[in-house]
Structure 1
Amino acid sequence: MSDTPSSSAAAKRPPRQSRTGLTATGARKAAGKSNRTRAREFALQGLYQSLVGRNTVEEIDPFTRDLAGFSKADAAHFDALLHGCVEQADQLDALIVPLLDRPLAEISPVERAVLWIGVYEFQHCLDVPWRVVLNECVELAKEFGGTDGHKYVNGVLNGLAPSLRTLEVEADKAKTPRKA
Structure 2
Amino acid sequence: MTFTTPKHRSRERVVQALYQYIVSGGEVLKIEQQFLNQKSGKISKAFFSNLFINILKNRTELDALIAPTISREANELGTVEQAVLYLGAYELQNSIEVPYKVVINEALEVAKLYGAEGAFKLVNASLDKLAQSLRKIEIEASK
TM-score by length of structure 1 reads 0.77
**Deviation (angstroms), 1:82:** 0.3
Aligned residue identity for 1:38: R
Between the aligned partners of 2:25 and 2:33, the Cα distance in structure 1 is: 16
Indicate the larger mover: 57-66 or 156-165: 57-66
**Deviation (angstroms), 1:67:** 1.5
Aligned residue identity for 1:143: L
Which residue is 1:3 aligned to? none
Percentage of matched positions with identical amino acids: 37
- Answering whether residue 27 of structure 2 is matched by residue 56 of structure 1, we say yes
Which residue is 1:46 aligned to? 17
Which residue is 2:83 aligned to? 113
Which residue is 1:146 aligned to? 116
**Deviation (angstroms), 1:76:** 1.3
Give me the CA root mean square deviation: 1.1
**Could you say which structure has the larger radius of gyration?**
1
Higher relative contact order (CA 8 A, sep 6+): 2
Unaligned runs of 5+ in 1: 1-22, 24-28, 175-180
- Three-state SS of the structure 1 residue aligned to 2:132 is helix
- Number of paired residues? 143
Q: How does 1:120-139 map to 2 (within 5 A)?
A: 120-139=90-109
TM-score by length of structure 2 reads 0.96
- Answering whether residue 69 of structure 2 is matched by residue 99 of structure 1, we say yes
- The structure with the greater share of residues assigned to helix is 2
Which residue is 1:80 aligned to? 50
